[in-house]
Amino acid sequence: MCEVDPCSESFVFKGFFPDWDDEFSTHWLELDPFAAAMAKIEADKKASIEAKMGKKEEVKFDAAGSKTYDLEVLKRSFPEGVDPTKKEQYLSDEVFSQVFKMDKTAFNALKEWKRKDMKKQAGLF
């Protein structure tokens, strides 16, 4: 089977079609409107992701335990530098023991689901 590139049909080929219109055949090269719209959406999405990746600021948290905060402060807000996924680590050792009835080492040794449940009960999730 011989393939013919669009808009470069030979005169022999065109001879089989008396009403052949060279100008109309160029429409076959145009992208389907749906495919064109999808290509534009993909390009916009890629550009948006690249823009966000370039502008993304790296958030730096204080080392857990470097600063301590009151339990009530951690319950109602996110002080600057506090990792929101580890709010309990910013409690003083005494307060931590009162709230969780264990020290931080024992707490960190628990399974993740158990730590989450305990943080929810303490209002730190």
Q: What is the pLDDT of residue 6?
A: 66
Q: What tens-digit pLDDT sequence spans the chain (125 residues)?
A: 566 676 777 878 788 888 877 777 777 777 778 888 888 999 998 888 877 776 555 667 777 767 888 888 888 887 888 888 888 888 888 998 999 999 999 999 999 999 999 989 988 87
Looking at residue 114, its pLDDT comes to 93
- Give me the pLDDT at residue 33, please: 82
Contact between 38 and 47 (Cβ < 8 Å): no
**Domain coordinates of the chain in residue numbers?**
71-122
Distances 47 to 33, 34, 39, 43 between C-alpha atoms, Å: 21, 20, 12, 6
pLDDT of residue 4: 64
Provide the pLDDT for residue 80. Answer: 82
Rg (CA), the chain: 32
> Residue length, the chain?
125
Range 71-122 classified under CATH 3.30.1380.10: no
